[in-house]
Structure 1
Amino acid sequence: MPVGYHWHLRRLMAERGLFATTELVPLLAQRGVRLSREQVYRLVTGIPERLSLATLAALCDILGATPGDLVEPYRKPSSARPASRLSARRAAGPVALAPDPAPPEVAAPAPLPRPRRARIAPRP
């Protein structure tokens, strides 16, 4: 079964009175984690795919939290069919499928004009 996770950094920051992502930049830097404002913004507003242990430890220290408070794993429901139904279909053999109906004709949107390169004129 696939696993996902919820990222609770924004909620934990709000509970600690930190409402601006830029407030984290100096707090992380004090703990040896150098991230740009943009990186911290993405860390707070998005769900990170990769996170160094040093950054995770610094966030836990700043927020007085544990890694389990920041990351909440959960199981995603499986979209696959049960194996018994699949094996029953395979045992029955191939099934003739009706051809797909032709899609209705849709006019393609007009292409957008391309931007032109700016020309810098010399100063008079």
Structure 2
Amino acid sequence: MKRSIGYTWRLREIMAGQGVFTATELVPLLRERGIDLSASQVHRLVSGTPERLSLQVLSALCDILACTPADLVITTAENAGVRKTGTADATDRPPVVAKLRPRPARILPEG
């Protein structure tokens, strides 16, 4: 059976808990630890969910925020759903597509 994995990036939440509220506050703290990222790179790190992250940056963030990697990244794993084949019963079919289509708009003259 296939497994579906995912993760939640909690950097912003952990930052707020430590009294760091903006990405610009994080830039000099990272530089003190030898991590030279631009303000826009740090902003993307804080506001988004990174797909790749160096262990140096992760270690620096953990040091700055007094947390562990497990605090920053919450992982999830669950069984993937079974994919249906084209041989399903007639009772499994979706409703008639024609009923789901929108009605054409009527344009009325100004008046």
| Percent of paired sites with the same residue | 52
Provide the rounded CA distance (Å) in 1 between the counterparts of 2:10 and 2:51: 14
AA in 2 matched with 1:40: V
1:61 equivalent in alignment to 2:72: no
Q: Higher RCO, 1 or 2 (CA under 8 Å, sep at least 6)?
A: 2
AA in 1 matched with 2:53: L
TM-score computed with the length of structure 1 as normaliser: 0.64
Aligned residues: 93
TM-score computed with the length of structure 2 as normaliser: 0.72
Structure 2 residues without counterparts, runs of 5 or longer = 88-96, 102-111
1:1-124 mapped onto 2 (5 Å cutoff):
1-76=3-78, 78-81=80-83, 89=87
Which structure shows the bigger proportion of residues in strand conformation? 2
Provide the rounded CA distance (Å) in 2 between the counterparts of 1:76 and 1:39: 32
Structure 1 residues without counterparts, runs of 5 or longer = 90-99, 105-124
Provide the rounded CA distance (Å) in 1 between the counterparts of 2:42 and 2:25: 9
- Rg larger in structure: 1
Aligned residues: CA RMSD: 2.7
> CA shift at 1:80, angstroms?
3.0
Provide the rounded CA distance (Å) in 1 between the counterparts of 2:78 and 2:23: 30
Provide the rounded CA distance (Å) in 1 between the counterparts of 2:5 and 2:79: 9
> CA shift at 1:79, angstroms?
3.5
Aligned structure 1 segments of 4 or more residues deviating by more than 6 angstroms: none
Q: Which moved more, 1:4-13 or 1:68-77?
A: 68-77
Provide the rounded CA distance (Å) in 2 between the counterparts of 1:15 and 1:71: 15
